[in-house]
Amino acid sequence: MSFDKHILITGGAGFIGSHVVRRMLIQYPNYLVVNLDALTYAGNLENLRDMEDLPNYRFVKGNICDAALVTTLFEENQIDTVIHLAAESHVDRSITDPLAFVQTNVMGTATLLNAARQYWGGDYAGKLFYHVSTDEVYGSLGETGFFYEDTAYDPRSPYSASKAGSDHLVMAFFHTYHLPVIISNCSNNYGPNHFPEKLIPLSIHNILQKKPLPIYGKGENVRDWLYVIDHASAIDTILHRGKIGETYNIGGHNEWTNIDLIRLLCRLMDEKLGQDTGSSEQLITYVKDRAGHDLRYAIDATKLKDELGWVPSVTFEEGLSRTIDWYLANPEWLAHVTSGDYLNYYEAQYSRR
Ligand code: NAD
Ligand code: TYD
C-alpha cells in the first residue's frame, strides 16, 4: 500500500495523543500513522481499541529516548512527518520526580530531532517535525495580560522547564540544521481519555465515588481550558497549513478559577446524576497548595485565527457536558485506569499477534 504521508506520532496512547491518532486515521486514510509510545502509567491503548486493526495504523511499544529504535522506525516506515506528543505531563509528578521529566521531555525530544535530522539528511522537501508543547513554558501571569507567541519563556515547574528545554532544542535544530519544524503551545486540555490525576477527570471520578474534591490553596488559580478534540483539530490545521519555523499558540479564551470550574462541574454532575443541587459541592475540600503554583495562564490565539482561520468548535459548558457524558458512558475505562488493569491490555491484545 502506498501512502501520501508517513507520520510518526509519539505519545499516541496518551490523552491528547490518542485524539490526534484518531483524527489522523479517520480524516486521512491515505496517511500511514505509526504510534510510538512507551505505555507509561499515562499510556492507555484502550483509548484506541477501535482503531487498532486499521490498515494504515501501526503501534510500537517503545521509548523515544531509544535512539536505535527511533532510527529503525524512521527507516522502516519512511517517516516524513513527526507529531511529537510523548512527554511526562503532570506538574505534581514533576515536583516529586523531576529527573524523569528531564529524561523524557528533554533527552527524548533531542533523540527524535537527531534521528529526523540524520534520516532526512538535509533533504527536507515534504518533511515536518511538529512539536506539541504547552503554554506553561511562558510562566505565570498576574491578573491581566496574555501569553503571545513572542512572550519570553519563564518556566517555573520542573515540568514546564523541561518542556521549555524541548522547545529550545526544536528551534535550535531549525536554526542550526534548517530542520523543518513547527511548535504549538496549547492551554490546559480537558475531555475524554483524560487520566484521573488532573483536575477535571479527578473531580469527575471523585464525585462518582463520593470522595473529597481536593482544591489546592484557595482555588483562585486560573487556567484557560480547551476541549481536547479542538486541540486535535488545531494540530491538524497547523500540520497542513502552518509555516515552517513558526510557533502557534492554541487556546479558547476560556479562563476559569479552579473553584468556579469545580462548582460548575458539580452542578452539571448533580443534574446528570439526578442528585439534589449542592450534593457534589459538599465534597469540595481545600488542601495544601502546590509548591510554586502558577497563578494564571491565558493564551492569545489571534495568530492562529487570523493566519490559519482556526477557532474552537465548542463552548466550555458544552465541552464539559460532553466530557462528563463520556465518563458516565465509559465506567469500564475509569475502573480499569483506577485499578491499573489497563496496564495489562497491551499484553492481552498484542501477545496474540
Ligand atoms: P499524557 O501524560 O496523557 O500522555 C503522554 C503519553 O506519552 C503517554 O501515552 C505515555 O505513555 C507516553 N510517554 C511518556 N514518556 C514516554 C517515552 N519516554 N517514550 C515514549 N512514550 C512516552 O499527556 P497529554 O496530556 O496527552 O500531553 C501530550 C502532550 O501535549 C505533551 O507533550 C504535553 O506537554 C502537551 N500538552 C498537554 C496539555 C494538557 O493540558 N494535557 C496542554 C498543552 C500541551
Ligand atoms: P492540572 O489539571 O494538574 O493542570 P496544570 O497544573 O498543568 O494546570 O491542574 C489544574 C489546576 O487545578 C492547577 O491550578 C492545580 C489545580 N488542582 C487542584 O486544585 N486540585 C487537584 O487535585 C489538582 C490535580 C489540580
Enumerate the domain spans of the chain: 5-190+228-250
Query: Each residue's pLDDT tens digit in the chain (353 positions)?
Result: 799 999 999 999 999 999 999 999 999 999 999 999 999 999 999 999 999 999 999 999 999 999 999 999 999 999 999 999 999 999 999 999 999 999 999 999 999 999 999 999 999 999 999 999 999 999 999 999 999 999 999 999 999 999 999 999 999 999 999 999 999 999 999 999 999 999 999 999 999 999 999 999 999 999 999 999 999 999 999 999 999 999 999 999 999 999 999 999 999 999 999 999 999 999 999 999 999 999 999 999 999 999 999 999 999 999 999 999 999 999 999 999 988 887 787 777 766 55
Q: Which CATH class is domain 5-190+228-250?
A: alpha beta
Residues annotated as part of the active site: 135-136, 159
How far apart (Å, rounded) are the C-alpha atoms in residues 33 and 9?
Answer: 7
H-run or E-run covering 134: strand 128-134
pLDDT for residue 121: 97
Amino acid in position 44? N
pLDDT for residue 205: 96
Mutation test residue for ligand 2: of 226, 258, 295, the one with most atoms within 8 Å of CB: 258
pLDDT for residue 342: 78
Q: How far is CA 201 from each of CA 104, 107, 191, 265, 326, rounded to the nearest angstrom?
A: 24, 29, 8, 10, 11
Ligand 1 near 188 CB (within 6 A): yes
Give the distance (Å) from ligand 2 centre to CA of residue 231.
19
Of 258, 250, 195, 230, residue with least CA distance to 319: 230
**334 close to 196: Cβ distance less than 8 angstroms:** yes
**272 close to 324: Cβ distance less than 8 angstroms:** yes
**255 close to 299: Cβ distance less than 8 angstroms:** no
pLDDT for residue 5: 98
| Ligand 1: residue whose CA is nearest its atom 36 | 134
pLDDT for residue 198: 96
User: Exposure string (b/e) for 234-248, b if CB count within 10 Å is 16 or more?
Assistant: bbbbbbeebeeeebb
**94 close to 162: Cβ distance less than 8 angstroms:** yes
Counting atoms of ligand 1 from 1, which one is nearest the CA of 17? 26
Ligand 1 near 85 CB (within 6 A): yes
Give me the residues paired with residue 226 across strands: 189
Give the distance (Å) from ligand 1 centre to CA of residue 278.
34
Residue appearing with cell numbers 491565558: 298
Residue appearing with cell numbers 475509569: 334
| Contacting residues for 97 by C-beta, under 8 A, at least 6 apart | none
| Contacting residues for 44 by C-beta, under 8 A, at least 6 apart | 13, 14, 18, 193, 195, 336, 337, 342, 345
